[in-house]
């Protein structure tokens, strides 16, 4: 279930990023009116905010996973107790 949700989140991110790229391409062109440019700018800024939040959430998950993995490695790499050496 978590993997399906994760794939869905990645697909949503990629879809939103592609939309942002389309907006940027339109705005870089010379064919938009001022009203169209402002509407695209507003939508682009909203997408940037959403994408930034998604990246921050993903970064936090990675930090947690790394921290959990690091503590497990530290536990397994500790030398055996002196009683176990004999």
Flag whether pLDDT at 74 surpasses 50. no
Residue 86 pLDDT > 50, yes or no? no
7-32 pLDDT, tens digit per residue, is: 888 899 999 999 999 999 999 998 99
Mean pLDDT across the chain: 84
Distance CA 15, CA 19 (A): 6
Short-list 56, 44, 57, 49, CA closest to 18: 44
Please tell me the predicted confidence (pLDDT) of residue 10.
85
Query: In a 10 Å sphere around its CB, with 0-12 CB exposed, 13-18 middle and 19+ buried, how is residue 26 labelled?
Result: middle
Q: List Cα–Cα distances, 71 to 65, 67, 76, in angstroms.
A: 10, 6, 9
Region 46-65 average pLDDT = 94
> What domains can you pick out in the chain, each with its CATH number?
9-73 (1.10.287)
pTM, entire model: 0.68
């Amino acid at each position: 279930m978590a993997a399906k949700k994760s794939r869905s989140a990645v697909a949503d991110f990629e879809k939103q990023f592609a939309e942002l790229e389309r907006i940027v391409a339109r705005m870089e062109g010379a064919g938009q009116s001022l009203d169209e440019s402002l509407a695209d700018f507003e939508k682009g800024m909203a997408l940037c905010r959403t994408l930034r939040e998604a990246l921050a959430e993903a970064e936090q998950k990675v930090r947690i996973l790394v921290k959990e993995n690091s503590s497990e490695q530290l536990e397994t790499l500790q030398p055996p107790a002196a009683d176990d050496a004999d």
